[in-house]
C-alpha cells in the first residue's frame, strides 16, 4: 500500500469547535467499528477512523505480535510512526490542523494510540485507551508528554491487558509528564457502560479546561 491516503478510513468533520476523535479499532475490527462509540462519547466531535494496516489470519490489526500478549515491539514502533504520518496527512487534507485530536482506541487500537503518544507526542493531544497496556516493553521513552492528556479504562481481571502492565504504563506516562486519569472497574476485556460514561465526562472536562 502506498501513501497514507490509501489507508481505508472514514472522516466526518463534526463541529469545528469540537475535537476530532481518531478512532482505532481492536483486533479484527474495521474503520466502522467504533463509530457508534464516538457518537456516545462526543456526538458533535469530528471523526477520523482508519483501518489497521496489518493482517493476522485475515484480521485487521495495528501491529504484529509474536503471540497473544507478546508484541513485536520493533513493529509497534514502526507502525506508530506510520499512524503519526497518516494523521499528519489527514490534518493537511481535511483542514483540521487547528483542532485538537484525541485518539480513542480499544485493545489493539488502544495500544497503538498509546505507542503513538509515547513516541510522537506532537501527533496527538490526548488518548482515551479502553483495555490498553504498556506497548513498548523493554524500551525506554524519553519524550516530553506534558501537553498530552491520557485516560485509561481497564478491567481488574483482564487477562489480555494485565494490571501489572497497566501500572507500568501509568508510571511511564506520569514520569514523562502526561496528565493521567485512570479508571479500573471490575471485570475483563471490553468497553463497559461505566467506561463510556467516564470517558464522555473526561472529554467534556478536558474540552472545558483547554478552552479556558
Q: Report the CATH number that the domain containing residue 58 is assigned in CATH.
A: 3.40.50.1820
> 9: which residues sit within 8 A by CB, 6+ positions away?
31, 48, 49, 50, 51, 90
- All 3 cell numbers of residue 26? 481492536
Where residue 69 falls among pLDDT bands split at 50, 70, 90?
confident
In this structure, are residues 81 and 115 in contact, taking their beta carbons and an 8 Å threshold?
no
Summarize pLDDT for 115-130 with one digit per residue, the tens: 999 999 999 999 999 9
pLDDT at 2 over 70: no
CA dist., res. 48 & res. 91, Å (int): 10
pLDDT at 4: 62
pLDDT at 1: 40
pLDDT at 6: 75
Summarize pLDDT for 132-165 with one digit per residue, the tens: 999 999 998 999 999 999 999 999 999 999 999 9
Q: What is the mean pLDDT of residues 7-34?
A: 97
Coil, strand or helix at 87: helix
pLDDT at 178: 98
Considering the entire predicted model, what is its pTM? Answer: 0.97
Question: Looking up cell 474540552, which residue turns up?
Answer: 207
CA gyration radius for the chain?
16
Report percent pLDDT > 70 for the chain: 98
pLDDT at 76 over 90: yes
Catalytic residues: 107, 158, 189
- DSSP letter assigned to residue 5: G
Domain count, the chain: 1
Look up the domain containing 24 and give its range.
4-211
Amino acid at each position: 500500500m502506498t501513501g497514507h491516503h490509501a489507508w481505508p478510513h472514514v472522516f466526518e468533520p463534526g463541529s469545528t469547535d469540537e475535537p476530532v476523535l481518531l478512532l482505532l479499532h481492536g483486533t479484527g475490527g474495521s474503520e466502522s467499528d467504533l463509530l457508534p462509540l464516538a457518537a456516545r462519547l462526543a456526538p458533535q466531535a469530528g471523526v477520523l477512523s482508519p483501518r489497521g494496516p496489518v493482517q493476522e489470519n485475515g484480521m485487521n490489526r495495528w501491529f504484529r505480535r509474536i503471540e497473544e500478549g507478546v508484541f513485536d515491539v520493533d513493529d509497534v514502533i514502526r507502525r506508530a510512526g506510520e499512524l503519526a504520518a497518516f494523521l499528519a496527512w489527514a490534518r493537511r487534507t481535511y483542514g483540521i490542523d487547528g483542532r485538537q485530536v484525541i485518539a480513542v482506541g480499544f485493545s489493539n487500537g488502544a495500544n497503538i494510540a498509546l505507542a503513538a503518544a509515547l513516541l510522537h507526542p506532537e501527533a496527538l493531544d490526548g488518548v482515551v485507551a479502553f483495555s490498553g497496556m504498556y506497548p513498548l516493553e523493554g524500551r525506554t521513552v524519553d519524550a516530553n508528554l506534558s501537553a498530552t492528556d491520557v485516560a485509561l479504562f481497564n478491567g481488574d481481571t483482564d487477562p489480555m491487558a494485565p494490571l501489572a502492565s497497566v501500572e507500568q504504563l501509568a508510571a511511564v506516562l506520569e514520569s514523562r509528564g502526561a496528565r493521567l486519569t485512570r479508571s479500573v472497574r471490575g471485570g475483563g476485556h471490553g468497553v463497559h457502560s461505566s467506561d463510556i460514561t467516564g470517558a464522555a465526562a473526561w472529554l467534556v472536562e478536558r474540552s472545558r479546561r483547554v478552552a479556558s
